[in-house]
Amino acid sequence: MSLVYDMQQALPGFRAQAEGRMVDSCTITGEPVTRTLDPDTAEYTDVPTTIYAGKCEIKAENVEATNVDAQGRAVVVVRRTLKLPVAGSEGVREGQTVTVTACVNDPGLVGNTYTVGAFTGGSFMTARRLPIQEQQ
């Protein structure tokens, strides 16, 4: 037996444990966009393609206070990470939009939208971890 073999055998169990903590849901949308005509208003609406819809975990990390802004208020920066199952989220890319559709432990996050940042994958990842930034 080798360490790599042992890791490959254990990986499905580790991924199941990671997914077990994903009690929230989100939808991720992006290109291509479909133009749809509203027959009532005769106006076109751009509808982005759904890239992923399913379970997720949102984690706030690295909360840091920075300098004071022009109005004398402290500026706080919160870095967030979105965790998705490895299987089924392969099409998620930088620049796509994440919308929180359910959040068990913080219902105030429902409806929040974020932009996916750059990320890298890995051979033995238990979850896809994506930096996200809140949209204004």
Under the banding of pLDDT at 50, 70 and 90, the label for residue 17 is very high
Per-residue pLDDT, 72: 73
Angle at Cα 97 formed by Cα 92 and Cα 102, nearest 5°?
95
Tell me how many degrees the CA angle 9-84-92 measures, rounded to the nearest 5. 110
Q: 6 or 107: which carries more pLDDT confidence?
A: 107
- Nearest C-alpha neighbor of 56 from the set 84, 79, 80: 84
1 SS3 class = coil
124: pLDDT confidence band, cut at 50, 70 and 90?
confident
**What is the reported pLDDT for 77?**
75
Domain covering 3-134, topology: Thrombin, subunit H (2.40.10)
Q: What is the mean pLDDT of residues 39-58?
A: 94
| Element housing 115 (H / E) | strand 113-116
| CA-to-CA separations, 21 to 9, 49, 64, 108, 125, in angstroms, rounded | 21, 27, 25, 19, 15
* Structure confidence by residue, pLDDT tens digits, 49-105: 999 999 999 998 766 666 666 677 777 778 899 999 999 999 999 999 999 999 999
State both tokens at 108: 């105030």
